[in-house]
Amino acid sequence: MKTNDLSKLGTLMRASGSQQHAAKAKETKLKKLNAGHKTSSSRSAEKRSKSGKSEDFVLHRNIDVFCWNVKATISKAAKRDDLLPVLRRTQENNGTYGKDIASHLLGEEVGREAVGVRLLDVCESLGLLVNQGERSRPRYYLTEEGEEALKSGCVMVPEEGTWTIWASNDPVLNYPVLRVEPFRECSAYHEIKGDKKGELKNRNENFEDTSRWLRDACSVVNMPAAIGNELIRLDKIDTKVECIDSNAQLTLEWIPKANYLEISGSIDGSSVNATPQAPDVSFNTVWQELLENERLWGQWEKPKERLLLSFDSTKGAERSLMQRQLEFAKPRLYQFGNFGPTCRTVAIFPKSQEDAQQWAEWKLQNQINTYATESVFPTWREEALRPFDEYSDTIELPTRDELAFDIWEKRDDTQNVSTVWHLMAAKDWGV
């Protein structure tokens, strides 16, 4: 082969519509063109080599919302300045009684003992204190609920009545109650004469047994998952509930890696943008199950959070960025059910030394977008090797002359004509 035979190369360049520098360009001019040159692709490669991490992803779906009118006793958190000092005195004194409360809190041991006893009775009825003394000589001690009230500064106060409860049995939710409101009765006019008369006659048809999962939420102190900024507790709920239209559209978004859950949408005309507690499950557990469903877990390198692939199974953009966007059309988790389509961009890496060799060679050629001078080419080789440091001792990249010869031999098959030109021109001009 004659390395200065550029006739075929010139034909290729004209066919591609590109205009190149004349062969008579001086060496000094070429050095000025390449002096201080650092391509944008090499800069982005540096950034990727520093990060090289996989991104977070979001699992999302619509929430099924149920709504009922039901007779129930519901406790709500309240500031009780009359009771908290009693609890504090009980804690400080390792137990208390009527005269003790009257003396230390009410300022008069004898005259106000009955008031002190009454305060203790109220605390006992709310489950804050328990009497462990004799009947004639009672002595009250803090319960777990009383200790919690001291920590939070709030007391759970029960309210008995008819309530409207919005709830969901979505397994992602730690607490099923979404919103609680006092039931709004129809006016007497509507009950007898108004447009609600027909609806009232059919209400019996809407009654059903209380769901097991709602009954299981009783005695649990938590905050409504969608609307509400106060702690509640379902103390008692009737065995029958009246099912009504929920008038709710809610969506959940769960980011397992950030342990973050968000609920958005609306309930009965009120906007919802809440962040309840996320499921108590590790990201690795979620990610492993998703990859196993896609039969990719065997290719996942857990310590470095990257997917091991053969070079031939990758495409141009993936090879350059060393990333792949994994698409999950129907993600499913055994414990939490189905979700909408999602994706995650993950780091990728060659699965063998042979793949690393091919990948590094491709990266080297892909960087040649200007004249491959003797001063620039070694930098390109280093940048092509950098992402594959684990194989750097075994990867052998060609010299500029070796690559020029190989590219020229395959010039009829190459798609990037400018690569041929940038290699051959620099070689033939000896720069």
Confidence of residue 4 (pLDDT cuts 50, 70, 90): very low
243: Cα within 13 Å, side-chain hemisphere: 9
Which position has the token pair 């000092």? 85
Q: CA quadruple 298, 301, 307, 310: dihedral positive or negative? A: negative
Residue 111 reports pLDDT greater than 90: no
pLDDT of residue 230: 85
- pLDDT average, residue stretch 179-196: 68
pLDDT band at 413, cuts 50/70/90? low
Query: Predicted confidence band at 393 (pLDDT cuts at 50, 70, 90)?
Result: confident
Q: Which of 174-178, 191-195, 226-230, 248-252 has the lowest mean pLDDT?
A: 191-195
Give the residue from 406, 420, 422 showing the smallest Cα distance to 34.
422
Instruction: Compute the average pLDDT of residues 240-262.
Output: 95
User: Which pLDDT score, from 0 to 100, does residue 280 have?
Assistant: 94
Which has more pLDDT, 33 or 414?
A: 414
Tokens coding 136: 């004639």
Please report which confidence band the pLDDT of residue 8 belongs to, taking 50, 70 and 90 as the band edges: very low
* pLDDT tens for each residue of 10-67: 443 333 333 333 333 334 433 433 343 333 333 333 333 344 566 689 999 999 999 9
> Which of 203-212, 294-303, 367-376 has maximum average pLDDT?
294-303
CB 178 within 8 A of CB 168: yes
Question: What does the pLDDT look like over 376-389, one tens digit per residue?
Answer: 777 777 788 888 88
Name, of 53-67, 152-166, 189-203, the range with top average pLDDT.
Answer: 152-166
The pLDDT score that the predictor gives to residue 379 is 77
**Alpha-carbon distances, residue 424 vs 37, 202, 349 (angstroms):** 19, 88, 31
Q: What values do phi and psi take at 224, rounded to 5?
A: -50, 135
Nearest by Cα to 399 from 418, 417, 384: 384
Tokens at residue 113, please?
Answer: 């003992």
pLDDT higher for 110 or 101? 101
**How would you class 273 by CB atoms within 10 Å of its CB: exposed for 0-12, middle for 13-18, buried for 19 or more?**
exposed
pLDDT at residue 265 greater than cutoff 70: yes
Position 405 pLDDT exceeds 90? no
Out of 178-187, 304-313, 374-383, least confident range:
374-383
Top pLDDT among 385 and 368 is at: 385
The CA-atom distances, in angstroms, between 29 and each of 21, 22, 328, 373 are: 11, 12, 52, 12
Model pLDDT for residues 343-359, shown as the tens digit of each residue: 999 999 999 999 999 89
**If you count them, how many residues does the chain have?**
431
> What percentage of the chain exceeds 90 in pLDDT?
56
CB burial of residue 106 (10 Å; 0-12, 13-18, 19+): middle
Locate 47 and state its tokens: 């950034």
pLDDT cut 70: percent of the chain above it: 73
Average pLDDT, the chain: 81
Q: Could you tell me if 10 and 414 are in contact, meaning their C-beta atoms sit under 8 angstroms apart?
A: no
pTM for this one?
A: 0.74
Nearest to 119 by CA among 111, 132, 128, 108: 128
Specify the higher pLDDT residue, 170 or 373.
170
User: What structural domains does the chain harbor?
Assistant: 1-54+305-431 (no CATH), 62-74+157-274 (no CATH), 80-144 (1.10.10.10)
